[in-house]
Structure 1
Amino acid sequence: MTERRVIEGESFRDEDRYGEQLRNVAYTRCAFHDVDLTEAVSRGVVFTECTFGNVRLNASRHTDSAFLRCTFTRCNLFDAEFTDCKLTGSTFAECDLRPLRVTGGDWSFAALPRADLRGVAFSGVRMREVDLTGADCADGVFRDVDLSGAQLHRATLRGCDLRGSDLTALDPTTATLAGAIIDSTQAIVIAQTLGLHIR
């Protein structure tokens, strides 16, 4: 197994890294500002407690990588893909996140309050205690997603495909659900949340 090269406490600013191939490197407490990572590809890369400001990650592809407790501010993730990645505890503010495709991995404790997630697709992702307060997820896909403990107050899930996901944290009286697609097991969970008796 190739040992990761470690980069710690460095700052990267105004760099053109378009299409860069990132492999076997670990960034710890590094800062990226106004960096162009359009169409970049990462595999097995770990970012820990890094900050990303005005970073272009559009059309980037990430596989088996980790962004742990990172902060993304005003970043562009248009058409980005994450496959089996960890974004545990990361925070997103004023970011362009659509369209976004996430398959597998762990986004638990990530903070996406008031995020525009219309049409995004999450599949088979662990998102325990994720903060989606006030997020607009209309017409998105959350299939087989672990949303246990998620903060969904004032979230818009209109037209979402939610089948197979854990909706035990969903209060249907505080979220917009018109047109959402659920399965029969989820329907029972929601009915019980509303205090209905099923016989």
Structure 2
Amino acid sequence: MFQYMDERYENKDFSQADLRSGELKGCVFTRCLFRGTEMNEIWTAGCQFIECDFGGAAFNASLHTRSAFTNCRFAGANLFVSKWEDCKMTGSDFGGAYLDGITIQGGEWSYTNLRQANLSKQVLKGIRLIEADLSECNLQKADLREADLSGAKLFKAALKGADLRGAKMDRIDYRSFDLTGVRLDLEQAVNVARSYGAKVE
């Protein structure tokens, strides 16, 4: 087990490294490579990862608290049963990442690419997902109450049993996904009706 505190790295290649069970506190990584890196059970707290590449990295059972992963790539990464508490993930790309069993508590996930991700039964209450790409996502039975989904793309997303009450849904195309079994509040229901051409008075 290792511990890095307040370290700074730029353009460093950590690819294929064994970083399992380590602790990173207050570290900053800028444009670093973590391709295929073993990061199982790692703990990050207050760290910043800026434009880093985590392609194929393993994050199984890892814990991240108030860390930022901005404009990072997670293509093919394994995030199985990882936990993300109040993290800033703005602009990161999770295309092809394995997210089953992930836990997300609060945080900023705006402008992320989460296309086709499995987020079923996830508690995503209050999370910011502004302009996020959730196309073809599995969000069945997800708790999205009070989340900010303004401008999010929900094309063909599976939302049966999801709870959207209190969520911000500005600039949402309600006709791009199936609303069967989705829990809505009154304001959202009115906006759905209007999107189909109804006149609500």
Q: Same fold (TM over 0.5)?
A: yes
Cα deviation, residue 106, structure 1: 1.0
What aligned pairs does 1:159-174 form with structure 2 within 5 A after superposition?
A: 159-174=161-176
Give the match for residue 133 of structure 1.
Answer: 135
8 Å contact kept, 2:130–2:151: yes
8 Å contact kept, 1:167–1:189: no
Helix, strand or coil: the match of 1:120? Answer: coil
Give the match for residue 184 of structure 2.
Answer: 182
Query: How far, CA to CA, are the matches of 1:67 and 1:27 in structure 2?
Result: 9
8 Å contact kept, 2:160–2:182: yes
Structure 2 gaps of 5+ residues are: none
Deviates more, 1:187-196 or 1:60-69: 187-196
Q: Does 1:109 align with 2:91?
A: no
Query: How far, CA to CA, are the matches of 2:23 and 2:15 in structure 1?
Result: 18
Give the match for residue 97 of structure 1.
Answer: 99
Give the match for residue 79 of structure 2.
Answer: 77
- 1:63 counterpart letter in structure 2: T
Encode CA deviations 1:69-106: one digit per residue, 9 max, x unaligned. Answer: 00001111112221111100000121111222222221
Give the match for residue 62 of structure 2.
Answer: 60
Of residues 26, 38, 41, the one that matches 1:39 is: 41
8 Å contact kept, 1:98–1:119: no
8 Å contact kept, 1:117–1:136: yes
Deviates more, 1:99-108 or 1:47-56: 99-108
Structure 1 gaps of 5+ residues are: none
Cα deviation, residue 4, structure 1: 3.4
8 Å contact kept, 1:53–1:74: yes
Give the match for residue 124 of structure 1.
Answer: 126
